[in-house]
Structures are given as C-alpha cells and as structure tokens.
Amino acid sequence: MIENRPFANFLSHLTLVIGVIAIGFPLYLTFIASTHTAEAIVQNVPMPLLPGDNFLESYRLAIFGGQTRTGGTLPAAGSMLLVSLITALVISIGKIAISLLSAFAVVYFRFPLRGLVFWMIFITLMLPVEVRILPTYKVVSDLGLLNTYAGLTIPLIASATATFLFRQFFLTVPDELVEAARIDGAGPMRFFKDVLLPLSATSIAALFVIQFIYGWNQYLWPLLMTTSEDMYPVVMGIRRMLQTSDAATEWNAVMATAMLAMIPPALVVILMQRWFVKGLVDSEK
Amino acid sequence: MAAISLRAIHKTYGSGPRAVKVIHGVDAEIADGEFVVIVGPSGCGKSTLLRMVAGLEEITGGEIAIGGRVVNRLEPSERDIAMVFQNYALYPHMSVFDNMAYGLKIAKVPAEQIKARVDKAARILELTALLERKPRQLSGGQRQRVAMGRAIVRQPAVFLFDEPLSNLDAKLRAQTRLEIQKLHRELGITSLFVTHDQVEAMTLAQRMMVMNAGRMEQFGTPEEVYQRPQTVFVAGFIGSPPMNLLRGQADGRRFVSGGQTLALPQPAPRAGELILGLRPEHAEWGVDSAEAWRLQVDVVETLGAERLVYCRLGEALFTVRIDGTLPAPMPGEQVPLGVRADRLHWFDAGSGQRVA
C-alpha cells in the first residue's frame, strides 16, 4: 500500500511520540533519581533531569540495605528480589505444568463428568485471587503456610486461563497424529511428552512470559500473607521503603530498587519476545 | 505376514434409540500377501472398516483376526500393523528420520538396528537425502513417501492405507500408484487399501471389496467386478462412464422401458420387472439390423482416443463410448445401436441382485 499523506503521517508520528514520552519519561525520571543523593532530590525543585554521581552508592544501599545518611535503616532489596524471583518462577512453571496436564486430561481422556470438570475450571476464570482472598487466606493460614514460599505460590498456581489456552491448542492438533502415535505404540504420557509438549513449545513460552510478570507483580496476596521481612517480595518492599516514620525517605534507594525490580520482567520479555510473538500468532502444525 | 479374517463385522455409533448403524455385517477372508482394495462412495463405511482392523475404532460386533489371532481387544500397536493416513499424520517437529524411527524407539529396538532399517526404507523410497528435513520442508509427494517409510520400517504383517493418494495431484497420484504396486511386489505384505477412486481400485487391487451403505456389495478380482457386477450398485459404481441402466418390463425378446420397446438379441432371463445394464463401451455403434436400438444423439465429448456420445433412448439417457477415429456424430442425429446378448447384464428390480 502506498500512501502519501504528510499530515496524517505527521499526526500518527506525533501520537506515537507522545505515547513513548508518556511511558518513557517516568522511567527516565526513576533512573535519574536513583543516581542522585536523597538530599539532592529533595532540595532541588524541580528535581535534576541529568544523571548525578551517586549511582554506585544508591544501588549498593538498595541491594544490600543498611544505615542511611539520615540515620534510618533500609532493608536489603537483594533478598526481596530473590523472593520475587523464586515466587514468580514457581508460579509460572507451576501454572504451566498444571494447566498442560489438566488440558491434556480434558481433551484426550473420556472420563465421567468431563464436560462438567472443564466448565468448573472455566468458571474459576471469574474468581481471581482478589475475589476469594479471605477464604484463601483462611485456608492457607490453617494449613500453617503463612510466611512460606508454598503459601505465596500455591494459591496462585491453578489457572483457568492457561488451561483454556492449552485446551484450545490441543483441539487443533489433528486426530491422525494421536492415532499415528497409538499405532507407533506410544502410551498417553509418551504421546504427551514426545508430541504434544514439543508442539506446544511456543505457547508455553508465551504463557511463561505472561505468568512470570503476573507472579512478579503480585502485591495484594503477599501483603496479606507475609509478616516476616525475609519473605517480602520486592514489589511490596518498595512500598514499605516509603513508610519510614523516623527518618526521611531515601528516594534514591527507592528508585534504585524500582529500577532493579523492573529488570527481571523486562529481561524475560526481551529474551523471549521472539517465542512470545510466535506463540501468540502462529500455530505450527 | 498374515491373512486377515473379517467375521460378521458390525459397527454402531452411540447406543439406545439414537444409535447409528454404519456397518451391517461384513464377512471376508483376505489371503496372506494379498493386496485388497476397499472401494465405495463416501460414507459407505470403508474407512470405519479399515480403522477397526487398525484398532482405532472399537468393534461393535463380530471378530477380526490377523494371522489367525483374534485382535478385537488388542491395542493398535500390538496388532502388527502399520497405517498410512490420508493427511500422512507426520510428527511436525521431528525430522524425517525421527518420524520413521519413532515407533521403533518406543519398541526399544537397538539404535544401530533402527538406523539400518530406516536407511533401508529411505533407500527404497528415495528419501536418503531428506532424512534430516522436517515435514514442513517437504513436498506433498515426499511427505507421502515418508508416511509409507514409517509404515515400512515397522516390518508389519499388514499394511493399512487410508486414502493415501487423495491429497496428491493427478500426475503424482499415478506415479505413486505404480510405486505402491512395486513396493507390494517387493515386500509381499498383506495390504488393505481404502479409496473412493475406482481407477486406484482397479489398478492396485488383486481383489477389491465394493462397499455401499455399510454392506459389502461384492468381493472379487477387478475383472470379476467389472465383467460380472453382482448388484446394480456395483454395476453403476465401477466403470467410467458408468453402465447404462434401464428399468423396464421384460417379456421374452422384448423389453419395455420408458415408453420404448427394445428388441433383445436373446430372451430375457425371466419375465417381469428387471433392470437391464449395458456398458457404454460394449454397445455396437452404428450396427444396423431389424433389432437395432434407435438412439438420438444429444451431446458429444471428444477425448482424443475416444468419444463419449450422450444420447436419448426414448425418455432415458444412454451413453455410448466410440472410437476416436470414427466421425463425430451430429447432435440430433438418429443412430442405430447393435446389442450383443453376452454384453447385457440383468438385475432384479427390487433387490438389485444380479439375475444373469
């Protein structure tokens, strides 16, 4: 298609540029703030727009925590990042494993009430964590899972979305492939491992990206669930760093932590982008 | 290698009042090493029958034995069969080699033996250069050969083919037909081949099973099926263009059909309502006599070696195949048609069974 409408071109570019600034500028501001000292941020109004010289110190303070110049203490973001990483990984891998298996069961096995089971899974789409948060909390606390990784992850693992996605994908796999595998002597789990899993690779990658970010960004559930500092994920940690009653907020460390918290999901997206797009767009059959 | 016995095979889908019966009792003995083609229009149950032999469909009634062993309750992998699917059903993520080797790997055949068997099959099918490719990098014909290779490496007692040629273009289909024939001659493995294409059936079959609406109409050599069709259905299904079939009242040497009285060279096998069949290629064009039938030419199709002349015989349509060297008749022309007694087929008008 050849188009030559300079004004429309200009307008669309302008829209895009505004969009990029709207998203990019706060990120830039976060980064700039993390390179100054806390005093420089608070005392200069408006705050400086060029990088300062406190980069290493801010990030050291953010990662390892410790005494600040104004006398407060900061928790170490390093361990919170680790908690977040473990939680996000367990949630995304657990979700994918469970939904693959349940979709496999729903599509390929005839068992009593199969339709009902599928619809029950499907209906839970309407019940996100936030809706069932109190009963879930009760269950988890009665099981003694508060302040554990199990408590942080297990209630978030069951996933109707992923089950549904895999079910739809499995339905597009031709029946002849199943039959060919049966003639080749492959049992159900063998077929699952040798044929279905490799065929779902791109969908798995796409889901991993989505679920990793979902797990990483969990806020409300860990807030209820964790009372001990060493089980705080980083998203919660940032919020806690702002609540300092006895000292000035260490904005530079907060911003550095925010930057650090953004890196893992960004990396996952960037590294898996090709697979992600492939998984959403084409289905290789 | 093995013989196959089908004994009173029934197939019903569903149960209770909504049950649909698709196969109504098929009996057949297939000899060891024989190439049998199951042919019929779509929906006649031919694929279902094959899938029951493969073990992909449950058998509602009757018994299937392969090599003397009843296989009704065996898994497909335990029946010593290999199947080639219509859309080939290759594993898309595996290389050609892995596709062929997968069944052997599961059967825990030693690696060097797998390699030897796959290499041999690849050589027979001229796939050696393609072993590392993925199915999507292959043409339709090559995929088809991989599917056959996958069947060959299993060294089964029985080959099952489910319309394996229908996704190929005409030229490739003819070529692959010859290859399958050659392969069967070399390996001598009992084969069941399902198709709706009568050319495939006639050319490949040692014996063919003509099916219609879940029943076996005839089981015989291609010659038998062509020369002596047992039912009206077979007569109309095998042969292209199909046999002319006239329904009418027979009375001695007269046959009254569609308001026309036709003279017969010999008395009809019995009096009463019958169906008379005469193949387009068996009518003697332009042979005049007192007994000749009078046709009025409607349309002429010239195919080079031959011409197909579509005519009217009273109210009925009648097709005649004539040699391409004969002058083309003009539409509307009246032409006499000679009829030989040994070329006529007679069927019962009610049951459709052959009378003589």
What pLDDT, on a 0 to 100 scale, did the predictor assign at position B162? 92
The residue in chain B having the minimum alpha-carbon distance to the alpha carbon of residue A200 is: B93
The better pLDDT of the pair B356, B308 is held by B308
Q: In whole angstroms, how large is the CA radius of gyration of chain B?
A: 24
The residue in chain A having the minimum alpha-carbon distance to the alpha carbon of residue B159 is: A183
Question: Three-state SS across chain A?
Answer: CCCCCHHHHHHHHHHHHHHHHHHHHHHHHHHHHCCCCHHHHHHCCCCCCCCCCCHHHHHHHHHHCEECCCCCEECCHHHHHHHHHHHHHHHHHHHHHHHHHHHHHHHHCCCCCHHHHHHHHHHHHHCCCCCCHHHHHHHHHHCCCCCCHHHHHHHHHCCHHHHHHHHHHHHHCCHHHHHHHHHCCCCHHHHHHHHHHHHCHHHHHHHHHHHHHHHHCCCHHHHHHCCCHHHCCHHHHHHHHHCCCCCCCCHHHHHHHHHHHHHHHHHHHHHCHHHHHHHHHCCCC
Cβ of residue B118 closer than 8 Å to a chain A Cβ:
no
d(CA B193, CA B184): 12
Q: Using alpha carbons, list the distances in angstroms from residue B45 to A177, B177, B219.
A: 21, 23, 15
DSSP B44: S
- Nearest 5°: CA angle at B135, between A109 and B88? 55
Sheet order of strands, B316-323 included: B284-285, B334-338, B293-302, B306-313, B316-323
Structure tokens, B338: 């000679």
List pLDDT tens digits, range B151-174: 999 889 999 999 999 888 888 888
Cβ-based contacts of A198 with chain B (< 8 Å): 93
Q: Using alpha carbons, list the distances in angstroms from residue A266 to A207, A212, A263.
A: 15, 11, 5
The residue in chain B having the minimum alpha-carbon distance to the alpha carbon of residue A181 is: B103
Sheet order of strands, B35-39 included: B81-84, B158-162, B190-195, B35-39, B207-212, B215-220
Cβ separation of A177 and B136 shorter than 8 Å? Answer: no
Cβ-based contacts of B66 with chain A (< 8 Å): none
Crossing angle of the two packed helices A55-64 and A251-271, in degrees rounded to 10: 80
Neighbours of A244 (CB within 10 A): 16
Cβ of residue B26 closer than 8 Å to a chain A Cβ:
no
Average pLDDT estimate for B255-282: 89
Is A261 within 8 Å of A81 (Cβ atoms)? Answer: yes
What average pLDDT is seen over chain B?
A: 91
The whole-angstrom distance between residue A202's C-alpha and the CA centroid of its chain comes to 18
d(CA B235, CA B244): 9
Where is average pLDDT lowest: A240-254, B96-110, B182-196? A240-254
What pLDDT, on a 0 to 100 scale, did the predictor assign at position B207? 95
Secondary structure (3-state) at B237 = helix
**Is the alpha carbon torsion for A188, A191, A192, A196 positive or negative?**
negative
Residue A280 reports pLDDT greater than 70 = no
Cβ-based contacts of A193 with chain B (< 8 Å): none
Cβ separation of B106 and A198 shorter than 8 Å? Answer: no
* Nearby residues of A41 by Cβ (< 8 Å), 6 or more positions away: A33, A47, A48, A251, A252
In the structure, how many helices (H) and strands (E) does chain B have?
8, 20
What pLDDT, on a 0 to 100 scale, did the predictor assign at position A65? 81
User: Exposed, middle or buried, B25 (CB in 10 Å: 0-12/13-18/19+)?
Assistant: middle
The whole-angstrom distance between residue B24's C-alpha and the CA centroid of its chain comes to 19
First and final C-alpha spacing in chain A: 31
Produce one character per residue of B235-251: b if its CB has 16 or more CB atoms within 10 Å, e if not: bbbbbeeebbbbebebe
d(CA B258, CA B120): 62
List pLDDT tens digits, range A32-41: 988 888 888 8
The better pLDDT of the pair B52, A159 is held by B52
Is A250 within 8 Å of A224 (Cβ atoms)? Answer: no
d(CA B168, CA B174): 9
Of B54, B87, B92, which has the smallest distance from its Cβ to A183's Cβ? B54
* Nearby residues of B49 by Cβ (< 8 Å), 6 or more positions away: B6, B9, B11, B23, B26, B38, B194, B211
Q: How many Cα atoms within 13 Å fall on the side-chain side of residue A264?
A: 25
pLDDT class for A240, splitting at 50, 70, 90? confident
Average pLDDT estimate for B258-287: 89
Cβ-based contacts of A177 with chain B (< 8 Å): 89, 91
List pLDDT tens digits, range B120-155: 999 988 899 999 999 999 988 899 999 999 999 988
Longest Cα–Cα distance in chain B: 78
List pLDDT tens digits, range B22-77: 999 999 999 999 999 999 998 899 999 999 999 999 999 999 999 989 999 999 99
pLDDT class for B227, splitting at 50, 70, 90? very high
The whole-angstrom distance between residue A166's C-alpha and the CA centroid of its chain comes to 19
Cβ of residue B93 closer than 8 Å to a chain A Cβ:
yes
Q: Using alpha carbons, list the distances in angstroms from residue A213 to A92, A161, A205, A259.
A: 9, 15, 13, 15
Structure tokens, B149: 């290779």
What pLDDT, on a 0 to 100 scale, did the predictor assign at position B346? 93
Cβ of residue B92 closer than 8 Å to a chain A Cβ:
yes
d(CA B218, CA B233): 10
Secondary structure (3-state) at B183 = helix
List pLDDT tens digits, range A68-121: 776 677 788 888 999 999 999 999 999 999 999 999 999 999 888 888 988 888
What percentage of chain B exceeds 70 in pLDDT?
100
pTM of the model: 0.80
What pLDDT, on a 0 to 100 scale, did the predictor assign at position B33? 92
First and final C-alpha spacing in chain B: 38
Average pLDDT estimate for A245-256: 78
What pLDDT, on a 0 to 100 scale, did the predictor assign at position A282? 58
d(CA B125, CA B208): 26
Cβ-based contacts of B83 with chain A (< 8 Å): 179-180, 183
What pLDDT, on a 0 to 100 scale, did the predictor assign at position A95? 93
What pLDDT, on a 0 to 100 scale, did the predictor assign at position A245? 58
What average pLDDT is seen over chain A?
A: 87
